[in-house]
């Protein structure tokens, strides 16, 4: 991370005029207004009711109050000179029961957000599903119920019908490996389910939905630019031992291959991960073709690398991750190693897939403790993080890999899932007691960088 002299020289012009620059947020993490104007409860609203599910018993009920402060926040996007704004729609704000009556107030809200972006000269990039499943659908099994492919198709139809005249850039799912793995296997995210069966069924249905979402959008809006986003981590073995190397391959298959390869017609990586053969129980005739999706782009979201060691006692994977603090390497407050080369390696990895046309970094950022001194937040660690990772993005661009854009995570500090409000990723600090916004030094750096 000590690359200050080199990092300081990085310039927007080096990426070319066509490179896309932006910033990302999500509905559940920012909007608040959990029960306002007809919105139904999401699985995260329900999950937050459980004691110890969320750090400090935090709740997304108010979050950043983007629901009432959207004009102020979009004005900040404009002031920072950020030309593209990625945000998500809340399924339960648009369809409170998941599949029933459309909530007109919810539709009106998103029209206002989109209109404000367009009036401000900002291009909206919309994610259709960023983890906030309506609770009524979870009561029917959520992502483990195959009916979700019909529920999701209906939700997408409603969104495209309403917003297709104003929005051209769409993302279908956000990080399906995380919302199925953490939510249906480990139980540490909403809806808090555990077990291999719930995970594999949720995984397969999410793979189907990412393809169904694409086809639905293209049918209704043929000129739309449609992608989906994947979480990814650069995986390395702890040692050169064959057992560690094979363990790293298994983790890589699970985290980085399980969702993109089925969409490319390659199937699930069962040869590397034999336990995935259990997913065949949920595959119906025709699913292999139904899973295929010819996306215009993919979004990859990278923050770190993971170091993996063989461990006999870990079921299915026989592998464990070695935490950054145990390895005594520089890391963020999330205990994610700061390893800039990871983002280059992931662009390189996904660029090798023949079916991948374009790649955008749709999330990259860092959580560090912020301190306000005389109204100023000098978050040098976050600024250096962004510079050093962008060096690696530029390297990928110069090697003519498929990278076409970069979005910072995130615009503001927000509700960071099970971490509540403890972790702060924003370019803009939020005092969650007063909702006061304060642009951090990293935000001003990004502004200056984009201004050239």
Confidence of residue 294 (pLDDT cuts 50, 70, 90): very high
| Mutual angle of helices 176-184 and 196-220, in 10-degree steps | 150
**Is pLDDT at 5 greater than 80 in this prediction?**
no
Matching residue, tokens 């993996």: 308
What are the domain boundaries of the chain?
A: 4-451
Active-site position among 135, 162, 175, 261? 175
Of the candidates 181, 179, 194, which has an alpha carbon nearest to the alpha carbon of residue 130?
179
Contact 359, 401 (CB under 8 A): yes
Q: How far is CA 174 from the centre of its chain?
A: 5
Q: Give the per-residue pLDDT at 9.
A: 78
**Is 175 part of the annotated catalytic residue set?**
yes
Report d(CA 381, CA 369) in Å as an integer: 9
Compute the Cα dihedral for 349, 350, 356, 359 and give only its sign: negative
User: How do residues 76-127 score in pLDDT, each as one tens digit?
Assistant: 999 999 999 999 999 999 999 999 999 999 999 999 999 999 999 999 999 9
Residues in the chain: 452
pTM of structure: 0.97
Q: What is the CATH number of domain 4-451?
A: 3.20.20.80
Q: Can you say whether residue 57 is alpha, beta or left, with left for phi > 0 and alpha for psi between -120 and 50 degrees?
A: left
Q: Examine the residue annotation and report whether 363 is marked as an active-site residue of this protein.
A: yes
Grouping H, G, I as helix, E, B as strand and the rest as coil, residue 403 is strand
Catalytic residue among 135, 261, 337, 363, which? 363
Strand 319-322 versus strand 376-377 pairing type:
unpaired
Percent of the chain with pLDDT over 90: 98
Concatenating the DSSP letter of every residue in 112-125 gives: HHHHHHHHTT-EEE
Least confident piece of the model among 3-17, 155-169, 170-184, 410-424 = 3-17
Return d(Cα 235, Cα 248) in angstroms, integer: 6
Say whether pLDDT at 4 is over 90: no
CA distances from 397 to 66, 353, 369 (A): 34, 16, 31
- Report whether the peptide linkage leading into residue 235 is cis, meaning its omega lies within 30 degrees of zero: no
Question: How far is it, in rounded angstroms, from Cα 335 to Cα 356?
Answer: 31
How confident is the model over 316-332, as pLDDT tens digits?
Answer: 999 999 999 999 999 99
Q: d(Cα 70, Cα 176) in Å, to the nearest integer? A: 27
At 206, phi and psi to the nearest 5?
-70, -40
Decide: residue 286, CB within 10 A, 0-12 exposed, 13-18 middle, 19+ buried: exposed
3-state secondary structure of 152: helix
Q: Kindly write down the DSSP assignment for every residue of 19-56, as one continuous string.
A: -EEEEE--HHHH---TTGGGPPPBHHHHHTTSTTTSGG
């Amino acid at each position: 991370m000590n690359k200050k002299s080199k990092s300081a020289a990085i310039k927007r012009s080096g990426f070319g005029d066509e490179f896309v620059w932006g910033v990302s947020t999500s509905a559940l993490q920012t909007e608040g207004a959990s029960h306002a104007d007809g919105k139904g409860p999401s699985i995260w609203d329900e999950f937050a009711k459980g004691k110890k599910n969320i750090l400090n018993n935090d709740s997304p009920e108010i979050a950043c109050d983007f629901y009432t402060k959207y004009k102020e926040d979009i004005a900040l996007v404009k002031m920072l000179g950020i030309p593209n704004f990625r945000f998500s729609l809340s399924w339960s704000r648009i369809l409170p029961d998941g599949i029933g009556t459309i909530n007109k107030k919810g539709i009106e809200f998103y029209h206002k957000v989109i209109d404000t972006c367009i009036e401000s000269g900002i291009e909206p990039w919309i994610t259709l599903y960023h983890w906030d499943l309506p609770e009524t659908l979870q009561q029917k099994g959520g992502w483990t119920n195959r009916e979700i492919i019909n529920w999701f198709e209906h939700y997408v139809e409603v969104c495209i019908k309403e917003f297709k005249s104003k929005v051209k850039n769409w993302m279908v799912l956000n990080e399906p490996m995380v919302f199925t793995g953490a939510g249906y296997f480990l139980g540490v995210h909403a809806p808090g389910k555990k077990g291999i069966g719930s995970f594999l069924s949720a995984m397969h249905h999410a793979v189907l939905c990412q393809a169904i979402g694409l086809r639905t959008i293209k049918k209704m809006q043929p000129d739309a630019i449609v992608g989906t986003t994947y979480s990814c981590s650069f995986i390395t073995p702890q040692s050169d031992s064959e057992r560690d190397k094979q363990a790293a391959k298994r983790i890589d298959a699970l985290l980085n291959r399980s969702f993109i390869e089925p969409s490319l017609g390659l199937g699930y990586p069962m040869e590397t991960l034999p336990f995935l053969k259990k997913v065949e129980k949920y595959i119906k005739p025709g699913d292999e073709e139904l899973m295929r999706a010819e996306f215009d782009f993919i979004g990859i979201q990278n923050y770190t690398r993971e170091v993996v060691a063989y461990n006999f006692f870990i079921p299915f994977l026989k592998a464990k991750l070695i935490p950054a603090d145990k390895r005594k390497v520089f890391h963020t407050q999330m205990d994610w190693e700061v390893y800039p080369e990871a983002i280059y390696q992931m662009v390189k990895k996904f660029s090798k897939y023949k079916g991948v046309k374009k790649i955008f970094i749709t999330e990259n950022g860092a959580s560090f403790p912020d301190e306000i001194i005389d109204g100023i937040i000098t978050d040098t660690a976050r600024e250096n993080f962004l510079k050093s990772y962008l060096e690696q993005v530029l390297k990928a661009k110069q090697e003519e890999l498929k990278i076409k854009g970069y979005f910072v995570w995130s615009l503001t500090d927000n509700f960071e899932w099970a971490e509540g409000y403890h972790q702060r990723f924003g370019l803009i600090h939020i005092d969650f007691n007063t909702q006061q916004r304060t642009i951090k030094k990293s935000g001003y750096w990004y502004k200056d960088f984009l201004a050239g």
